[in-house]
Structure 1
Amino acid sequence: MPKRQLILEDGTVFSGEGFGSERNTVGEVVFNTGMTGYQEVISDPSYCGQIVMMTYPLVGNYGINRDDFETVTPFIHGFIAKEVADAPSNFRSVETLDQFLKAHDIPGIRGIDTRKLTKRIRKRGTMKAIITSVEQSADEVVKELRATALPTDQVKQTSTSKPYVVPGRGHHIVMVDFGVKHGILRELTRRDCHVTVVPYHYSAEQILRLKPDGIMLTNGPGNPKDVPEAIEMIQQVIGKTPIFGICLGHQLLALACGADTEKLTFGHRGANHPVKDLQTGKTYLTSQNHSYAVNKASLEHTRLQLTQIALNDKTVEGVSHEEHPAFSVQYHPESSPGPEDTNFLFDAFLQMVKDNKEKEVVAYA
């Protein structure tokens, strides 16, 4: 394996072995604490533009299979691991992690001190980084990194360019795709929903012409304030049909209702984040992947009610609208990977859709 180095914009250098693609890559370096699920992590569109490190020391031991992808084309810029298995053992495995990354031209680096890197990110926050050859001068690279602006069009990169339909016989759900994971689609089709997936920039008029029974605002990458057209759309559709927001969709719903968002120091990425429901007192383990969160204090002057909080840092994990049928959560109830504690939220959304349709029938009668 060729020698490679990971250089952070603060000047920190990690030396290791390259795997996957041999090209140089720049991105925001982040870490995920999941013990399993590296395939879902790599293929999650919410990681668009980022170099992802797994804190669990052994990665790739069960290979890559055909079933666990969250998108067809991964959008990560790089991958970091302490140790990568070259000979995976699993009956579903069809190729190694190295082969998969090579096929998608994604650079990786292994053999570095991932514990040290994690502690660095926790202390300094997420930062720009590059995976490059050992011949590169660290001082020159750091100067280039600091002068490099990270992209702000990640949602445009990951969203579908044209609408498409996933047929079903049940409720008609319009899914606004900001970088949707297949897991969300799977949960709706499992419940026999007729899903129309539309691009992130679809207007309120275009969406309402589809006569949806409900609207799903999906996960996606980046800063929610970089998608102003979606905020405007939500402001125009709220109250006209039930809404369920997940992750970025949660942040966009909050912004549309007058709340604010902020960037976390190192974000939440993993499969065991505890979340407390303030209405029931129950605590759930959740799968999370986000850099931004809704500012708790900003909810005070809105019609949004705080419903759930993160037990680790008390950040906002769920809100619901006091007047209209709309709610959202910061985490991923579809998991993929992670616990399925909150899978019932899809049923709660569809019950909201059903109740709203019944009210419309009564009002019409």
Structure 2
Amino acid sequence: MRRGKRWIVLVALGILLAPVMSAWAKSPRPARIREDLTLPSATGSSVRRIQPGRAQTDRPPDAPAPIRQTGRGGTAADLGWFLADPEALSAASAVLMDADTGAILFARHPMEQRSPASTTKIMTALLILEEGRLDDKVVISERAAAVGGTGLGLRRGQRVMLRDLLWAILLKSANDAALAAAEHVGGSEERFVDRMNAKAAALGMQGTHFANPHGLDDPDHHSTAYDLATLARHALRNPTFAHMVQTREASLTILTGRNGRVVKRMAIRTHNQLLGQFFGADGVKTGYTALAGRCLVASATRGDRQLIAVLLNDTRRWVEAAALLEYGFAALGGGTFGLGAPDGSSADMPKGEGG
């Protein structure tokens, strides 16, 4: 009788514990790979990348460890499924740089000269901050008012503070603001461009030559992904620049009418879709022209690590910038992963050259 009761108890316990044991026996459910971060195919690339946990500035290992596919929430050892095939990156040129050390964490055709579009304005803004007086009132010239592409719609004779022009340059990517500011700070566009090229040479930007301050296409206007990362690294050390490029909205004042007595206010928003959507994003500058394609210099900071990603002529710049930055943080032991990049669809359609 006792033996019979004992069997009954054991059977009952078995029934109660069966679901738990079944759950323990199952392997963890694999994380779902984000479809919006699946990279399209591309060919003819020359790629550098690092193994997770290892930064470098020289030639990468000939046989990097295979990267196991994983989803959000992986570890530094297995994150990087989106770069399992670096040939798949759609950017014509790309660089991922450690902003602190200058180490190159990933590179594809980093020294190839290409049209930089409005990423040019990083240099324009840096020179304005270094050589201009932000409280100056700038009188808009006829030449500045006539420049094409993205702009504020400025008119000859209007007055705008240099600080407000700088906001328009960095957030709205306004070509008229860039030319007006360059004329004011340099005395003429030509003299300002000379200073841009002198600064580029001082920074070691050997593949760069500027022909204008706004980035509209010109046969003599070119840069490289590596040079633009170097430029952004230097510019981000300027506190005012760093503050402005991580700001999403700003309000401008334009003085019009005779003697500038009529005040016109204008609100502008940044073109940088990573701000507020990618964990740690804090700059830097977008660009687009028909020749350059969609370009992006992006930065993000997590803890004491700041990374800079440059993508030139990339139809998936937002997704691929997020992927590169995420990969870099994981490779350097950046801890948490926060993929949340925009899909770069209709909102990414360029609204005019120089944007």
TM-score range, shorter chain: under 0.3
Higher strand share: 1
Work out which structure has the larger RCO, using CA pairs closer than 8 Å and 6 or more positions apart in sequence: 2
**Greater Cα radius of gyration, structure 1 or 2:** 2
